[in-house]
A and B are shown apart, each in its own frame.
Chain A
């Protein structure tokens, strides 16, 4: 994606630009204090992020999502979404991701997939690696609001 366009899209999608070492460290701290709440926030952010693709994309929301996320996350050695007839798998490899950050990023992707109409049926998450397998057909996710928690 063109750099200037990247900033415009990021701004519209509610993303903020910063140094990843801060985010990684902050992920550690939040996971220590309240892992479930942190995962829920990231999942909601994923739902929010992908909902726009579900509404705006002309046909291939998954490819659009993959393309823009790749642009947002620099230095990612592997980020692949593979789509079958009714399945979708996600494979992310980034040696710099700590275990906590991998867990939170997996939650973000889970929310994003659910917004596109996929339910995650299995996941493998470890330091630097996220693998999700999802199936189509479940109800689309909506962000969890404070009042529902």
Chain B
């Protein structure tokens, strides 16, 4: 039995956008229609996991940065256990230092690669850590105020994430000041380092 063809509808797309797409599809050896269809399907999927379409490029960049720096996926349950409350003071300090160092490496790389490192970092944080309900960055005079909120983070997990952010700030050329954290909330101001 012949398959019924899919219905099609006309959607207007700015001419200059179509010209750019045509250039890409010529190089790739595919059609403009297929390219647009693929991109729109990706946009629907991005929306379904709670991101905006503006995040599409950032997601690709996050994956790229993670690949370069040696990223991997780990079960959240494992993270919660490892950062758990049954650590002695020495182990807590060791863990916090490791998260700070890792953040510093991450921040240093972002500083080298992106024009607005702090904005990029906050965007990356929101994509990497889907256990965070909110990551906001507000210009506050000469400094930037960063706020992270999570309803699922433990106190210990919040402390480690705070250290990672502090390390990243240092790597990006900022000093973290007015640091505060309570279970599920991190607040800090990022001041540019003096030249």
Contact = CB atoms under 8 A, between A and B. Distances in A.
B139 interface: no
A45 B78 contact: yes
B70 A15 contact: no
Interface string A17-59: 1111111011101100110011001101100110000000000
A38 B74 CA distance: 13
Interface string B68-98: 0111111111110111001100010011001
Chain B: interface secondary structure? helix
Nearest to B66: A17
Contact of B73 (A15, A30, A96): A15
B98 A26 contact: yes
Given A4-B56, A6-B63, A15-B73, 18 more contacts: A7-B49, A7-B63, A7-B127, A8-B45, A8-B49, A15-B75, A16-B73, A16-B76, A16-B130, A17-B62, A17-B66, A17-B128, A19-B72, A20-B70, A22-B98, A23-B74, A26-B82, A74-B70
Chain A: interface secondary structure? helix
Interface of A: 2-8, 10-11, 14-23, 25-27, 29-30, 33-34, 37-38, 41-42, 44-45, 48-49, 72-75, 96, 108
Contacts of B79: 16, 18
Contacts of A42: 75, 78
Interface residues of B, number: 41
Given A22-B99, A29-B95, A5 B74 contact: no
